[in-house]
Structure 1
């Protein structure tokens, strides 16, 4: 049978693993009548003492062929490991040899993969087949664990439990990938930083400048609190995964505060962008619509993030959930920019009529700076961080986490400083000379436009 046309989806499935971050912890999955040719279970960075444990039970294989016993070759179903470097080479060779017999029909026969076992080793054999064994990785590297089904028209049912871990010098297990081991400490450090930030902000808003505080400043305090708690539970979540392979329930508050933090962040950016509470006590109808769109979208985006984090690439709709998350995140990032643009346009128009040129010029400068900072933050956290996760060596995946949290803290500091409560805001303290200079600047700007 010529199976060359089947190689293209195999190539695509293999290459998808290159953009997936390293996973971790103990995973359990029930597969029912799954006909996919290849399934990615985990991606993990191993050290010198890396181990993979696979336990499968209740294995049965069904074929669409009338003679199913003859149609299903047990040697063509099995689990294997492959590194990113070998994966690229395997995918390249498979595509180059699509129309020839130079490349094996089944990925399990490829010289680039480390075959763990095929279904010939099941005891008892299907139906009701089972297997349980541990495998040492051949060398330190980042490997992807796959299941391959090279029998066209066949579907597999089985319960799979996987464990991937490194062994520490004291013989205890570390269930975090090599590049993820410093992540709990990074989250702890930034949780402390945000807690200190919150304490300073509360002192400024409730004590030192209470009369100058607005509702937006209290909402910003809520954002800092949710961010700090998110980092606390993220640190605990990763810590327990590292020690035991499971989060022990810490993932529930982690996801709750992840949702709350995301919703509050985008809401604060929108409200600041409209000037609500800080410059005006009301929202226009179009600004309310933006908020009513952004908040539900953020909730949906975070639900998609939870599905991605809690399941893994082995579920059939995992790629779809990734696409949903990416699309909604892009929509939210674009939506929060519109209120800032509207505020800039409104200030530019107002400056022509109300006779307070200097004050409006200062406001205009403030919102332009905020616009640039928001774009920079969104670009870095969505593009640069993703690039770091993709191109960084598996040993340094923690760098993307540290970079994202560092830039996030800088953004929070800058945003909160720009719109802090002060008795005499520098943007609105003007004299006659500044007024005249501002009028001239606005005229020149209007002429250029």
Structure 2
């Protein structure tokens, strides 16, 4: 075994199961291992590297700010936070934003805001506010958030969980309507479930959720940590249905693939419940991360990366139509956010990812059933075509001794 892998296995908690490759450098859409082998990155750090690796403009912003000011805490104003929040609010149509570091922290912020809004604005009796989320969701791994999860492994051994958290079926408007009570504060939903397996709901689902929530005076909060910032072919995935949520959660690509930064954005009525001392973070909104994030957002707009994602994602899906493998159940996606679901009785998604790695393409399995394809939004058409040929050859190699079956390919 590689000594670097042995070192990590010896001293790291075993809370991840990485592919057996040791990466040492990244540039654009490519990664290199310690042996000098080059790989096409079709993973993008779970969508966090939407701009590609080491974009010179982002690196320059990072270096420039690092030489000036990196951290003061929120005990003082800095000249970097305000401009970022203003630009993010203008892009999203929200009134205010609260900066944190990770996606999970931003989700926790949204849950706190929703509960306090329920008590102060909706007048829910103290201690009885309810939060709804969907089965198959992935909003993070804190105690409260896994309390909303339907995944057994995420919950096992970590209870008891906070009260007032309920899970309902995804892509089911009737279930949402039935679950709402006078105590319901918010409905937290991913416009497309990423870790759930790139699950795309029916057309009109999110728009229907917005209508139901409005009618019942319930906050609609969209978790766009993975789907936001161009990944699905729109700046925000909720824009596919013209939905303006009451709250929006961003992270991952917001840091330009360089630093952790997340935002909870919301309208005035929701964000107005916070008073000094209610919530915060020493590193949240630090000037180094803010300088990078502002540049990252401007690059998204100026380089038209969401439009690029829409165009190239459609090309990738069309190219994948050529896959007619008995190992595949379905191919689905939107923009450059695509999943290949395999038949686990015949092959695991892990085995597919390991075989792709050998050919120079890096991806990662989701729940051992779905192979994720989410390259940097800067990927070129010829690189997509190379990836498709690599995927086709890999499945041809793996499908020996398996009987033929029907393959369903869908762009949803």
Where relative contact order (Cα < 8 A, 6+ residues apart) is larger, the structure is 2
TM-score, length basis structure 2: 0.25
Structure with greater Cα Rg = 1
Q: TM-score, length-normalised on structure 1?
A: 0.24
Whose helix fraction is larger, Structure 1's or Structure 2's? 1
